[in-house]
Structure 1
Amino acid sequence: MSDIIGQVTPEASVSAGLDAAGEWCIAFEAPNGIKFNVVTKGTCWLRVEGEPAPIFVAEGDCFLLTRCRGFTLGTDLSLPPLSAQEVFSADQYPARVNAGGAFSLVGGRFAFRSEQAEHLFEGFPVVVHVRGDEPSAPVFRRALEQFVDEARCDRPGGRLIRERLAQIMLVEIVRSHLLSSNRPAPGWLRGLADARISRALSAIHAAPERKWTLSALSHAAGMSRSHFARRFRDVVGIPPLGYLRSWRMLQAFNGLKTTQKRVGEIAQSVGYESESAFSTAFRRLNNISPGTAQRKTGRDVFTERSDKA
């Protein structure tokens, strides 16, 4: 878990607050990245596009949206919804509905430097709901409140603090989900819980530059080649060498963004002998060249959208 979350440093973030009263309903466009909120006062309902039933969210509860889907919040979801863009267009914090006072919420979102990072979270459900009485909820709430404060005040070093706080929130969400789910959906979360598959994941993370083959990874897992290939796909959701490729690209992207190494050095560090082969694979998976990724800042790579809450 530390290996994986340590590689998916959030790059872009926004925050917002909502203060509402009476009966209300607000429709939000699909967020650009991972969306997280904490209800600090009152209760509401949450409905996410494509999900079968709404979720009741109470004071102290946290929820995280892991997919790019529109969602609706409100005391009565049958009401004609207000547009979130209109509610949050005014230059005030928090945004207010019906003068406020009965319900409050704080939230934020973050995206990832590499598109490959998002694939690592395919094992999450669409909505992760952490109830206020769960052990991880107080930690999550404190981290989010500080995250929002840093985003609003824009103090020196604020971006680094927000990145670390976002990682803390991710860890708490993962812990909560693992404790509450008997059988996580296919993905790295489920791989962590599988004794043999986790050995192969650890081997890949420890030496991504190694010339791994299916036979070598199956040996690390203590399984036959055919049994390992089937089980890895069933548990993680992608073939072993596909996971290896994604992990290499994620590490390469981070290396390009955080070090002064040349592209050729980065290529070798993740197992590519040829810079041209690495560049081709990198462009195919990230939609930009390694050189472009190295030159651009986080704000260039990600375009901020206006879906604030």
Structure 2
Amino acid sequence: MSLDALSDVLRSVRLRGAVFFHISGHSDWAAEAPPAREIAPLLMPGVEHVVEYHAVTQGTCWAGIPGGPFEQLSAGDVVMFPHGDAHVVSSAPGLRGSSDLSWFGSARIEQLPLRVAYDGRNVQLETMPDSASDATIVCGFLGCDMQPFNPLIAALPRMLHLRANGEDAWIARFTEQAAAESRANRAGGEAMLARMSEMMFVDAVRRYADALPAQSAGWLAGLRDRFIGRALALMHEQPAEDWTLDELGRRVGLSRSALHERFVQLVGIPPMQYLAQWRMQAAARLLLETRATVAAIALDVGYDSEAAFARAFKRLVGSPPAAWRRERSNQK
């Protein structure tokens, strides 16, 4: 796999994690989460996209998307919902809960993680973890940017189950540490869990990509391909290069037509379109993280003209680069 391209995307979409809930379940319980777009403004204001995950620290439970299949989770397992779907975690498959979060308004958000007890359909805030529960879960959120271009999220399944078997021992250690930190309320615990959750997400993506069947399609499958992975790495390493389809094909060892066909088959868009979109993502990162002028950033991502860069950026994002930078800065 072209890990450099994966790392490049993860850096550019500004992945950041947070842990907010320590849940205990009793009897025939069900915790139902609304779509991430509805809960994100409460928990991670200003974040474009939220991935929710649940780490089982004790007992067993089930997780799934309403109307879809449910999977059983055991202690040490982690389940993720990369697309931000509404979902249910419960004591048995098929149970439904309430997605009403009105109780959240009474919570003291400065005391994280929040401890929430589900007893059947009843929900209440706890002051201490309940060791007598049927299952305990640490729930966290990972925020990332979707604009101008994030090829990773679309390449992931709607639900990703990471089992704590021998191969996935790191996942089990994460859940153990998550449980310990959420119980202890030690100084720096929230920041530590946030960084660990980011690492866990990266590990999950790599593991999912490594397990893809040989005939899979998608951006992650492209990273694994001998030719397309190299083409992606070259565009990520040198976005300002004056790439042509002929030159890219020559560097990876394919003809122009073969590269185009293989790239579209795996990634879903032509190579030059991918390059244009990736340049805008690289530019967005520079706009947010540096004080460089728009003209300098245009040169850094391969445009000879500031005007041409501004038109391309607006076409993809919806506003000119300078206005977009001001808007995003005001959201911080």
Q: Which bin holds the TM-score, normalised by the shorter protein?
A: 0.7 to 0.9
CA distance in 2, matches of 1:71, 1:266: 41
Structure ID, larger Rg: 2
Residue aligned with 2:101, SS: helix
83-92 vs 38-47, which deviates more? 83-92
CA distance in 1, matches of 2:326, 2:187: 24
Letter matched to residue 275 of structure 1: E
2:232 corresponds to 1:201 = yes
CA distance in 2, matches of 1:27, 1:71: 6
Distance 1:31 1:14, change over 3 A: farther
Q: How does 1:25-174 map to 2 (within 5 A)?
A: 25-32=30-37, 33-49=50-66, 51=68, 53-86=69-102, 88-91=104-107, 93-98=114-119, 101-133=133-165, 134-138=168-172, 140-141=174-175, 158=191, 164-174=195-205
2:324 corresponds to 1:293 = yes
Letter matched to residue 48 of structure 1: I
Deviation at 1:122, TM superposition (A): 1.8
2:221 corresponds to 1:187 = no
Residue aligned with 2:331, SS: helix
2:261 corresponds to 1:230 = yes
CA distance in 1, matches of 2:208, 2:225: 16
Give structure 2 stretches of 5+ with no counterpart: 38-49, 109-113, 125-129
Distance 1:139 1:180, change over 3 A: farther
75-84 vs 208-217, which deviates more? 75-84
CA distance in 2, matches of 1:183, 1:116: 30
Letter matched to residue 135 of structure 1: A
Letter matched to residue 32 of structure 2: A
CA distance in 2, matches of 1:5, 1:36: 17
Letter matched to residue 102 of structure 1: D
Give structure 1 stretches of 5+ with no counterpart: 302-309
Deviation at 1:208, TM superposition (A): 0.1
Contact 1:283 1:289 in 2 (8 A): yes
Deviation at 1:252, TM superposition (A): 0.8
2:279 corresponds to 1:248 = yes
Contact 2:77 2:163 in 1 (8 A): yes
Question: Structure 2-normalised TM-score?
Answer: 0.78
CA distance in 2, matches of 1:35, 1:9: 16
CA distance in 2, matches of 1:56, 1:156: 29
CA distance in 2, matches of 1:81, 1:157: 28
Deviation at 1:169, TM superposition (A): 2.1
Deviation at 1:38, TM superposition (A): 0.5
RMSD between superposed Cα atoms in Å = 3.1
Quote the residue 1:265 is aligned against.
296
2:10 corresponds to 1:5 = yes
Distance 1:66 1:231, change over 3 A: same
Deviation at 1:236, TM superposition (A): 1.5
CA distance in 2, matches of 1:18, 1:298: 34
Contact 2:57 2:176 in 1 (8 A): no
Distance 1:282 1:11, change over 3 A: farther
Question: How many residue pairs end up in the alignment?
Answer: 297
Letter matched to residue 211 of structure 1: D
Letter matched to residue 65 of structure 2: V
CA distance in 1, matches of 2:215, 2:156: 8
Post-superposition CA distance 1:71-114 (Å, at most 9, x none) = 11111344452225146454262111127522111122232234
77-86 vs 98-107, which deviates more? 77-86
Contact 2:82 2:156 in 1 (8 A): yes
Letter matched to residue 72 of structure 1: V
Question: Structure 1-normalised TM-score?
Answer: 0.83
Distance 1:184 1:102, change over 3 A: farther
Letter matched to residue 28 of structure 1: A
Contact 2:66 2:94 in 1 (8 A): no
Residue aligned with 1:169, SS: helix
Contact 1:40 1:59 in 2 (8 A): yes
Distance 1:183 1:277, change over 3 A: same
CA distance in 2, matches of 1:266, 1:146: 44
